[in-house]
Amino acid sequence: MFSSDESLHKILVVDDDISQITFLHDALKDIGQVLFAQEGLSALEIARNTQPDVILLDIEMPGLDGLQVLGKLKEHDSTRDIPVIFITSHNSVEEQLVCLKSGAVDFLSKPLHPLVVAARVQTHLALHARERDVVQVLRHAKVALDAIGDAVITTDKDGRITFLNPAAELMIGVLLNRGKRPAH
């Protein structure tokens, strides 16, 4: 771990090449706290323990490769939503598609340019922050809708019910997506 300012974003860099880690640290140190791992198992442990805001992950590493690390990150609730940007010396369309279809949010080809790396990381940090904000607003809206005494029913453009709050479920006698009648 290089930086120690906890108020900044946490960025996990995973690469078996220490010169690449140093390069990425220099490119990202003004954006956030740069954590690093040189192999997949350490990366998984650091990700679970520190909950980084973004992970830059080399594809080719000894032991677990980047795709295997990504797969394990996606298996756990605590790490599945962390944006992962792959870094590789391969830049074929096929390679990029494999990475993106596996759940990565972006793909950076070597040789890396520090300003491009920083810009991409900042973009994904901003997108992830907006996504968290939207999820929080939706949670608050659901709590509010569930708490009001009036029935609230929403439908899609074809008239299919997409949401019933508890008052609406009681009123019409159906629990949405559960097919049971509410207890009276």
Residue 123 has pLDDT above 90, yes or no: yes
Same domain, yes or no: 84 and 160: no
* 61 falls within a domain: yes
Find all residues with CB under 8 Å of 125, minimum gap 6, and list them. 9, 31, 32, 53, 54, 83
Q: For the full predicted model, state whether its pTM sits above 0.85.
A: no
**Structural domain span for residue 100:** 9-137
Radius of gyration of the chain (CA): 22
Same domain, yes or no: 27 and 107: yes
Q: What is the mean pLDDT of residues 40-56?
A: 97
Same domain, yes or no: 99 and 162: no
Domains identified in the chain, total number? 2
* 2 falls within a domain: no
Confidence of residue 77 (pLDDT cuts 50, 70, 90): very high
Q: Categorise residue 74: left if φ over 0, alpha if ψ from -120 to 50, beta otherwise.
A: alpha
